[in-house]
Amino acid sequence: MGKAGGDSRSLINEQGLRIDGRKIDELRPVKIEVGILRNADGSAYIEFGKNKIMAAVYGPKEVHPKHSALPDKALLRCRYHMSPFSTEERKNPAPSRREIEISKVMREALEPALMLEDYPRTAIDVFVEVLQSDGGSRCAGISAASVALADAGINMRDLVAACAAGKVAGQVVVDVDDIEDKEGQADLPIAIMPSSNQVTLLQLDGQLNDEEFNKAFNFAVQGCKQVYQLQREALIGKYFGRSEVPEGGQ
Ligand code: ADP
* Protein residue with least CA distance to atom 17, ligand 1: 135
Ligand 1 binding pocket (C-beta < 6 A) is: 1, 87, 89, 91, 98, 133-138, 178, 181, 187, 189
Q: Which helix (H) or strand (E) holds 132?
A: strand 122-132
* Protein residue with least CA distance to atom 6, ligand 1: 1
* Protein residue with least CA distance to atom 27, ligand 1: 87
Q: Which is it for the CA torsion 148, 154, 159, 164, positive or negative?
A: negative
One-letter amino acid at 172 equals V
One digit per residue, the tens of pLDDT, for the chain of length 250 reads 456 555 555 899 999 999 999 999 999 999 999 999 999 999 999 999 999 999 999 999 999 999 999 999 999 999 999 999 999 999 999 999 999 999 999 999 999 999 999 999 999 999 999 999 999 999 999 999 999 999 999 999 999 999 999 999 999 999 999 999 999 999 999 999 999 999 999 999 999 999 999 999 999 999 999 999 999 999 999 998 865 555 554 4
Mutate to test the pocket of ligand 1, among 104, 137, 139 (most ligand atoms within 8 A of CB): 137
* Protein residue with least CA distance to atom 25, ligand 1: 87
In a domain, 3, yes or no: no
In a domain, 8, yes or no: no
pTM: 0.94
8 A C-beta contact, residue 69 and residue 76: no
Q: What total of structural domains would you count in the chain?
A: 1
In a domain, 246, yes or no: no
Determine the structural domain holding residue 182 and report its residue range: 22-240
Residue 127 maps to which CATH number?
3.30.230.70
Rounded CA-CA distance 168/186 in Å is 7
In a domain, 42, yes or no: yes
In a domain, 99, yes or no: yes
In a domain, 248, yes or no: no
Task: Give 244's DSSP letter.
Answer: P
The pLDDT, as a whole number, for residue 112 is 98
CA–centroid distance, 121 to ligand 1, in Å, is 35
Rounded CA-CA distance 121/23 in Å is 48
In a domain, 6, yes or no: no
Rounded CA-CA distance 244/128 in Å is 27
The pLDDT, as a whole number, for residue 250 is 46
**What three-state secondary structure class fits 179?**
helix
Rounded CA-CA distance 202/242 in Å is 33
The pLDDT, as a whole number, for residue 4 is 54
In a domain, 185, yes or no: yes
Rounded CA-CA distance 74/90 in Å is 36
